[in-house]
Every structure is written in structure tokens, then in C-alpha cells.
Structure 1
Amino acid sequence: MNDDSHLIETPLLRTELLRGNFLHVVRDTVRLPNGAEATREYVLHPGAVMVIGLLDDGRVVLERQFRHPMQSVMIEFPAGKLDEGEDSLMCAQRELLEETGYSAREWACAGRLAPTVAYSDETIDIWFARGLSLGERQLDDGEFLDVFTATPAELRAWCFSGEVIDSKTLIGSMWLQNVQSGEWPLAWKDAATSLLAGQSSS
């Protein structure tokens, strides 16, 4: 195992810079490995989930949504942040239903990604869902997005062309390709069983 002691920064002091409706920004004073001090400004985040929904015909569920910081409509996998104390699977099931109207019979947790390590502690749990059935969307007030489906090949082409630049969706496409090739197997579980297990362990 690597000895990373020569890389580790030690927190000394935290100052709150902003606590908004969504963002919580802090400035940490840290001691560097050489003994000097420096500051690190970053966003604290409760964590999030992303759902790769697989339809029976092989297509995946995607969204088109305007993202204000980018001033552009982005192609993304369904995703959303965890509510306080919320189980990751419960959040994934809620977000998929609210944003797309789909519910799933089976779920598999693939892994976790950290999309912005330089300025946020956000992590996103990657969930796969299959056995989809379509119901009614339950969008939040002020939430506007289009739901559509595409083949994995179409998604890969958009990632290559630059039409998809959202980091979680790029990583999701990589996961999807490796899962479908058999390189990265998943442990699928029935939705109800998985949710009960998660609730009993929380």
C-alpha cells in the first residue's frame, strides 16, 4: 500500500462563506505537507445519485434539461441530490420516478464518482435499473425537462462528438459499455428486497 503522508493536508480552521438554499461554501485553512499554511475554498454537498435506466429493447432513459451555469440544454442521465438522512437506493427510485415517470423492478449499485474534486466534496452513486414500467412524472415546481430514450451506441456517439459533456453522463456511458460487454458485472437485486435491506441497516 502507498504511503501518502507526503501528500496529506491537515485541516486547521474552517470559515463559512455562503449558506444558500442549495450551496454551502466554506474556506478551510490547512497545513501543507511541508509545514506551510494555505486556504482551500470548496462546496459542501450532501451527495447525489444517478440512474442508468435500461429499457427492455436495449435503449436507455435520458433527459434534456437547461442548466443555468452552462447557459445550455444538456443531455444527462436522471439524477438528483440526497435528502437529509435519505438512503441512496430510495433516492434513486424517487428521482427516477419524479423526473421520468419510470419505476424499476430490479436495481444494481455500480459504484461512485466524484465529479468536481477540486472544489466540492460531492459524490454521486451510480445505479442501474431494469424492468422499467412507465407511470406519471412528478416534477418539482420550477423543474422543466424532456425525457427521451436512445441506444447506447447513440449515447457513445454524442459523448465522442461533444454533444454530451456532463461528467456524470460521460462516466455513466463508460459504465454502461463495460456492463454490457460483461467486463464489469453487476449484482442485481429486486427493488423491494433491496429497499427493505437498506431501511433495516439505516
Structure 2
Amino acid sequence: MSNILTLPEITQRKQVAKSRLFAIEQIDLTFSNGEKREYERMQGYGRGAVLIVPMLDNETLLLVREYCAGTHSYELGFPKGLIDEGEIPEQAANRELKEEVGYGAKKLTHVHRVATAPAFFAASMEIFLAENLYVEKLPGDEPEELEVVVWKIADYQALLAQPDFNEARSIAALMLVKDLVNKTSK
């Protein structure tokens, strides 16, 4: 049995806050059953974002440890960044890889698109597997040099146990790429 859902009607929109990164919008909704609700959501200004899982070889991942203002801590995760104007996601992935890790990729495979927090944030991220790496460093926009961390994919459970590897997008990317690598190596 299939239920066909009807999107609620947006009866009013109002911007309630704005920063250089996003705006908060209040939306008044009327659902198909007549129920009315008020929601708030964040709207980004960009063209989306990318997260890259770089593999130095068939067994070795490259991660970065960088400062995260939201948690005021250094977190371990995969390189990521915004898609710049005029770029397609693959170009942004290769640029971010060069800026954050110091490698480019001859092969980029789109793995999955993930929603960051769809209940209240209209943003998504494209996850890429980067292979056939070559050394190439581009200057990035980070305020300090990022620490590049080498990790064997076979030791993924130890990575998951690291207290500073807790960002949901990086964990999802790790599991997706682990499954992809397992399928292609058989």
C-alpha cells in the first residue's frame, strides 16, 4: 500500500535573522488535513558543499584534523568545503582536496548525496571518493595549516572509537566508502 503525500502549502514566509552564512526563515504552513503550523528553517546562500574521502591507495584513507567553531574543538574528519560560483561538484571536490590535503585526484567517484539536517536546514552535501592521488597543494582559506591523518580503512572501527571523529557526515561517508571499496575489491 502506498500513501501519496501532499506537501503542505506555504502560506507566508518571513526572514527573521540573517548572517553571512545563512538566513533563518519563518514559514507558515497549511497541511492537506487543514492543520496549520509555523516552522523555522535555515537557508544557505551557497551552491552546496562537497565532502571528499581521499584514498592514498586501496587500503589507506586521508583525513584532516581542523578547528570547528560550532564545538570549539579540533575534530577529525574528511576534507570538505563549499562549491564556489562557476564550479561543478567534482571541481569543488578536487579543489578542496588540494587545499586541505595537498593532493589532487585523477579519479573522483560520486558516492552519495546527504542532507545535513533536513528538518530545519535546506543544505545538502555531495560525497566523493577520491582515488589515483597526485601531489598538488593549493592555498586554502583555513586560518591555520590542517593536520593530515593517515588511517587504514581496515581499522575503521578504531577510527569510529576516536573521540574527535564524531561528525555525522564523515561517519556516513566512511561507512558508504567502506562498503563501496569492499564491493569493488571482490
TM bucket (normalised to shorter chain) is: 0.7 to 0.9
Q: State the Cα distance separating 1:136 from its structure 2 match.
A: 2.3
The alignment's TM-score, normalised by the length of structure 2, stands at 0.88
Q: State the Cα distance separating 1:111 from its structure 2 match.
A: 1.4
Residues 145-171 of structure 1: per-residue CA shift (max 9 Å, x gap): 212211113343232455421011110
Structure with more of its chain in helix, by fraction: 1
**Structure 2: gaps spanning 5 or more residues:** none
**Structure 1: gaps spanning 5 or more residues:** 186-202
Say whether the 8 Å CA contact 2:83–2:89 is kept in structure 1: yes
Match of 1:158 in 2: 159
One-letter code of the match for 1:5? L
Residues 121-150 of structure 1: per-residue CA shift (max 9 Å, x gap): 111111111111122241215255212211
2:182 and 2:31 map into 1 onto residues whose CA distance is 43
Match of 2:2 in 1: 2
Give aligned pairs, total. Answer: 184
Match of 2:90 in 1: 89
Q: State the Cα distance separating 1:181 from its structure 2 match.
A: 1.3
Residues 28-76 of structure 1: per-residue CA shift (max 9 Å, x gap): 1111232122111111133111111111262111011111111221111
Structure with more of its chain in strand, by fraction: 2
Match of 1:55 in 2: 56
Larger displacement relative to structure 2 (64-73 or 156-165): 156-165
Compared CA separation, residues 35 and 84, structure 1 to 2 (3 A): farther
Q: State the Cα distance separating 1:13 from its structure 2 match.
A: 1.4
What is the correspondence of 1:92-131 to structure 2 with a 5 Å cutoff? 92-131=93-132
Say whether the 8 Å CA contact 1:178–1:184 is kept in structure 2: no
1:57 and 1:109 map into 2 onto residues whose CA distance is 17
Larger displacement relative to structure 2 (79-88 or 176-185): 176-185
1:120 and 1:71 map into 2 onto residues whose CA distance is 21
State the identity as a percent.
23
DSSP-derived class of the 2:180 partner: helix
Match of 1:191 in 2: none
Match of 1:39 in 2: 38
Compared CA separation, residues 131 and 109, structure 1 to 2 (3 A): same
One-letter code of the match for 2:109? A
1:143 and 1:2 map into 2 onto residues whose CA distance is 52
Match of 1:147 in 2: 148
1:156 and 1:134 map into 2 onto residues whose CA distance is 28
Say whether the 8 Å CA contact 1:100–1:137 is kept in structure 2: no
